[in-house]
Amino acid sequence: MAERYTVLAQAHIKEGESVLEIGAGPHALTTIPLAYAVGARGGVVGAEIGRWGLFPELVGTSGLSDRIVPVQCDATRLPFRSGCFDRAVCIHGIRSLRDEETIVRVLEEMLRVGARVIVAESLPVARSNAQEAHLAMYNLREEIFEAVLGRKDDIHYPPLERLKGFVVEAGGTVGSEETIEIGLPHYLSFIPRDYVERIRDPARRDDLLFRWDAAKEGLDRQGAEHPPVAVITAERAARP
């Protein structure tokens, strides 16, 4: 959550704004900082397709539940009228979408309902050994989840130019871009070894366990540091 505050400081959310958050998630990591940012006169709608987890409990504990409305929906078909939010934001949610087609469809919807769009995502960039150790473990997630579940979960971090490309493909114009160093540990990429051992295909399991062991050794030796984060603001492109 401290990382989310750092990212949102670059987004310049104003008091009194109405904000749609895509991918509220089970821990309200961005929702609560957004609720602080919009103040008592603003409001946050947290959209999530189904993984609510501790969301109600954490929002209740924050004392900000009167500013937050959770909505369960598919972000490729948002149940909101066009232009009804001051901002639509997706903070570290791009990597949790199914594929590039889904990313573009979600961004199209964000551009439709929000006057301004903010997208923030980690970049596949290592400027320190600890960031490199984080990426080595994180980059196994897509393959591990696909091998265990039969489908992808977190996809690889997109490069900055690809991230901007998604916005343009969705019909948006990039207004600003900034890459910031977070300066915090980042162990959320970690997957327990016994989860990898659930892979049924022996050859694939052995390969991923070998690579997992190497990545874990890097984490033990270097620690894990949050990679740089891109913060992009955008608006719907003007029609010719």
Percent of the chain with pLDDT over 70: 99
Regarding whether 44 and 18 lie in a shared domain, the answer is yes
Residue 240: predicted pLDDT: 64
Residue-number span of the structural domain to which 57 is assigned: 1-123+158-183+227-240
Residues 83 and 135 in one domain: no
Indicate whether 73 and 52 sit together in one domain.
yes
Radius of gyration of the chain (CA): 18
Helix (DSSP H) and strand (DSSP E) numbers for the chain: 9, 7
Cβ atoms < 10 Å from Cβ of 214: 12
What is the reported pLDDT for 187? 84
Instruction: Please give the span between the terminal C-alpha atoms of the chain, in angstroms, as a whole number.
Output: 41
Strand spans (E) along 28-187 = 43-48, 68-72, 85-91, 114-122, 172-180
Q: What is the mean pLDDT of the chain?
A: 95
DSSP 3-state of 48: strand
Which has the higher per-residue pLDDT, 51 or 186?
186
Pairing mode, strands 85-91 and 172-180: unpaired
Indicate if 77 and 134 belong to the same structural domain: no
**Residues 75 and 139 reside in one and the same domain:** no
Between 11 and 89, name the one with better pLDDT.
Answer: 89
pLDDT of residue 153: 76
Burial of 150 (0-12, 13-18, 19+ CB in 10 A): exposed
48 pLDDT band (50/70/90 cuts)? Answer: very high
Least confidently predicted of 59-73, 81-95, 181-195: 181-195
Q: Tell me the CATH number at 105.
A: 3.40.50.150
Residue 45 identity (one-letter amino acid) = V
Q: Are residues 60 and 137 in the same domain?
A: no
pLDDT in tens, 98-142: 899 999 999 999 999 999 999 999 999 999 999 999 999 999 999
Domain count, the chain: 2
* Domain co-membership, 45 together with 76: yes
Token pair of 124 as six digits = 């596949």
Residue 218, both tokens = 């890097």
For residue 148, what is the DSSP state?
H
Same domain, 141 and 118: no
CA 31 to chain centre: 12
Whether the Cβ atoms of residue 53 and residue 88 lie closer than 8 Å to each other: no
Q: 221-231, pLDDT tens digit by residue?
A: 999 999 999 99
User: Can you tell me the distance from the alpha carbon of 34 to that of 45, in angstroms, rounded to the nearest whole number?
Assistant: 10
- C-alpha 233: how far from chain center: 15
- Using the predicted structure, report yes or no on whether residue 238 has a pLDDT greater than 90: no
Q: Output the CA torsion 137→226→177→91 (10° steps).
A: 80
Whether 33 and 4 have beta carbons less than 8 Å apart is answered as yes
Return the pLDDT at 53: 93
pLDDT of res. 237: 87
My answer on whether 203 and 117 are in the same domain is no
State pLDDT tens for residues 159-210.
999 999 999 999 999 999 999 999 999 987 789 999 999 999 999 999 999 9
21 shares its domain with 61: yes
- Residue 138's φ and ψ, nearest 5 degrees, are -60, -40
Are 49 and 131 found together in one domain?
no
Share of the chain above pLDDT 90, in %: 90
143 shares a domain with 84: no
Query: What was the pLDDT predicted at 190?
Result: 87
Note the pLDDT of residue 159: 97
Enclosing H/E stretch for 142? helix 141-149
